Amino acid sequence: MPYHGHRRAARTLAIRPAASPLRSLWELLRNRHAALRLLLVLLALVGMLVSVHAMRKPFGYRLGQRADYGIAARLDFERPNLVQTERARDDAESKVPPIFNHKRVLIEELPGKLGGMLKRVAAVKQADLIPPDLLIPFGLTDVGQIGKRPNPRNGPTTAQRRDRFYAAVRDPEQLKKIDQEFRQFIQPILDTGVLLSLSIPNVKLSDLTMLRIMPQEGTAVTDDDRTGPANGIAAATELENENSLEAAAISESRSEDRLVMLSDVQLPLLLSANGRLGAAWPRFAALQNIRPMLEDWLTTHVQETLFYNDQATQDARQLARKSTPDVKEAFKKGNLLVNPGTVIDQDFLSLLQSEYNAFEDQITAWQRWLRVMVVAAVIILLGGLNGYYLVRNEPELVRSASRLSVYLVVIVVAVALGQALSFDPWRAEVIPLTATVMIFAIAYNQLLATLTGFSLSLILAFSTGSGLGHFVVLMSAATLTVIPLTQVSSRSTLIKVGLGSAVAYFVVSWGVAVIETQSLAALFENTNLLMASLRGAAWCLVSGFLVAGSLPFIESLFGVVTNTSLLELGDVSHPLLAELVRRAPGTYNHSITVASIAETAADSIGANGLLVKIGAYFHDIGKMVKPHYFVENMVLGETSRHNQLAPAMSTLIIIGHVKDGVDLAEQHGLPRPVVDFIEQHHGTTLVEYFYHAANKQASEHPDQGYDVQESDFRYPGPKPQTRELAVMMLSDAVESASRALSEPTPKRIESLVNDIARKRLLDGQFEECGLTLTELNKIQDSLVKSLNAIYHGRIKYPEQRSA
């Protein structure tokens, strides 16, 4: 009784109360590896929140969408009227006058030129002795007269005009007065310039056209230049005091822009009776006496001083456009923005976008963070669903930080791309969705791919504002993508899967439209629905091509191998296999036989027979480093090299072929699943022959103190981690052992297979691969049949007698 009471007390003391959630969390955080995985999950959550724009409500309207019940404004808002704004900007641009640069120096030179000529006229002793080169500019000759104003038929003769002109300029005081008045007289064209040619490319000019006059850079003149040459009639220092203020005003006006009409810069119009120069003659008495002669002189000596500046004009017009404010139109809360039954076009989409932006602008920071927390809760819920499955069914993925990070990054990138591609004109959010589920079906399994497809479809549907109908379409496409992907036998398989997904997208899109509209007419009347369905189907097909083209990168990133790559590895011209044939032909023959029987055994339990076959090809490549230490490579009559070695040394050589094989596989870039066959096909089994030899040697020489440890004669492992590797272990063992049978009868073969399978089972070699006893029996039956087929009996033919 005391004994039993002690047992119960011990069991009672072993029971401890469950730890609190906070303590469990603390213990989790203290675990560095667990904390790293938790950090990865948190980073993925942040990336997901950023990808779905969690702070903003999704804009759910797209081109071609039908507003069955209409769309009303949720608040008062304004938006620019693009048509009226463009019209206002065009009007502002048209009002910008063409810009001309004014070269003032050409006008400032005129007083000096006129003074010099008048001085020469005054120096002549009588009028009829005036040289022709002085008469012609003033229109005082009948021969070659170039004046633009013809003499009146009943007016004074040319000689009379010449005499009067000569008399007016002979007096020095009169010349001085002429100079002063002329400087004032030409002030209008000095300020505004003269335009002679009206033919300017891309510029339409009329009498009412306004011109903007700007002083030309680099044309400033000195005071000496302004008064003319040194031989002029009057120097600037002789100007009267009353003209000093006017001269200062003239100098100050040099840097000012002026707006003038076209008629104010055309010399003929300026000299007309109503022109600025023509109307000014009566104010200048000294000039009035020689007016006709001065008009002729101005006509011949005034040059064009205005030059069109196209660059400045275009810059001013662009500035006018940019400076014109937007013309806004106002909408009141409740105003119908889109009428019921209207299909949203680009104009309606722009209006709805403006209303959406105005609505988002009035959202407070607290409301935004509340939305972020709600979205985070939804994502955590979906993530918890996926995480629970991973922990229960994919523990290796969860335990590896690198593999978990790849899984999370792919999901976040898929959401980000889906969000970015969901807008017009792409509407291609189905591409990252179907591509992701294809990749996960290849890299992991169909169930995980389906679960991921469900989560991604839900997130994309609600983060883009598409609603339940679009979620059904996306989920259907994702599901039809996963179902056929039991294995990837060729790249065309992925394209076919994309085609099936495209058909599903098209059909389900139409089905959802019929359910939502409750009318079959929508299928034939709504061309936008047809185009959207065809576009989505095309994107599904595109995803198949994308995954097929990037298959090698997917295999490398996720550490998986597809049947397509396996078939390429199975080529006998592979460098490793070719070298194995040359160095260790017996091992090569053994590998081919193992591949044959192992593939059949794997198929019998639903495992990947092709993977087992290719793994068998390479599982013993390490033996070609020291081929003659393995019995299958010894020729008849050759003495075993192990006879000269201690059992422990022989064991090291035998076990070493695993490490050598792994090194060769990694050097040649074999995929990890194939390397696993090299590393795990012996598990942690015992090298029995040399272990027993060591024990025998120790018993025969007890005085030498041999200490035989069983662990020294076991392979380093690991044990087989998959069913395929378990099949490989059994196939390799039974094929090697069957060669030692003197008479391989069916009964002996069956007994041999059963014995080896039982030993491996009792040795715990199948503890980590998930192999069941039922599957083990099927493997044994398959191996027995295959070996019987290899060692079947043959009819003995009689010996041929010589003639």
- The predicted model gives 763-780 an average pLDDT of 93
Rounded CA gap, 684 and 719, in Å? 6
| Type of residue found at 191 | D
Q: What local confidence, expressed as pLDDT, does residue 240 receive? A: 39
**Position of tokens 């059994």?**
730
CA-nearest of 496, 98, 498 to 260 is: 98
State pLDDT tens for residues 70-109. 899 999 999 888 889 999 999 999 899 999 999 999 999 9
Q: How far is CA 779 from CA 156, 575, 723, in A?
A: 137, 31, 10
- Rounded Cα gap, residues 425 and 421, in angstroms: 9
Q: What is the pLDDT of residues 280-297, one digit of tens each?
A: 999 998 888 889 899 999
* Mean pLDDT on 776-783: 95
Question: Cα separations (Å) of 529 from 12, 500, 524, 672?
Answer: 70, 20, 9, 47
Handedness of CA 200, 203, 207, 213 (dihedral sign): negative
Angle (CA) 456-457-463 rounded to 5° is 85
Cβ–Cβ under 8 Å, residues 422 and 59? no
Rg, Å, the chain Cα set: 51
Question: From the CB of residue 320, how many other CB atoms can be counted at a distance below 10 Å?
Answer: 17
**What is the structure's pLDDT at 374?**
94
Average pLDDT score, the chain? 85
| Contact status, residue 112 vs residue 228, Cβ threshold 8 Å | yes
pLDDT at 540: 94
**Residue 764: how many CB atoms within 10 A of its CB?**
11
Which range is least confidently modeled, 204-208, 451-455, 737-741? 204-208
- Looking at residue 154, what is its pLDDT? 56
Q: pLDDT tier at 169 (50, 70, 90 boundaries)?
A: confident
Question: In whole angstroms, what is the distance from residue 593 CA to residue 732 CA?
Answer: 9
Burial group, residue 281, by CB count within 10 angstroms (0-12, 13-18, 19+): middle
pLDDT of the residue at 143:
53
- Which residues pair with residue 72 across a beta bridge? 336
Say what the pLDDT of residue 564 is: 83
Distance (Å, rounded) from C-alpha 676 to C-alpha 768?
A: 14
Give the pLDDT confidence score for residue 358 in this predicted structure.
92
Token digits of residue 590: 């053994």
Q: Is the pLDDT of residue 382 over 80?
A: yes
Give one DSSP letter per residue of 485-513, joined into a string: TT---SHHHHHHHHHHHHHHHHHHHHHHH
Kindly indicate the confidence band of residue 28, based on its pLDDT and cuts at 50, 70 and 90.
low
CA-to-CA dists, residue 312 to 11, 174, 324, angstroms: 98, 45, 18
Please tell me the distance from the alpha carbon of residue 45 to that of residue 383, in angstroms, as a whole number.
9
CA gap 658, 654 in Å, rounded: 8
pLDDT in tens, 704-716: 667 788 888 999 9
342, containing H or E segment: strand 342-343
| Helical packing angle, 527-549 and 551-558, nearest 10° | 60
211 beta partners: 260
**At what angle are helices 585-604 and 773-790 packed, to 10 degrees?**
130
Compute the distance between CA of residue 98 and CA of residue 262 in angstroms, rounded to an integer.
11
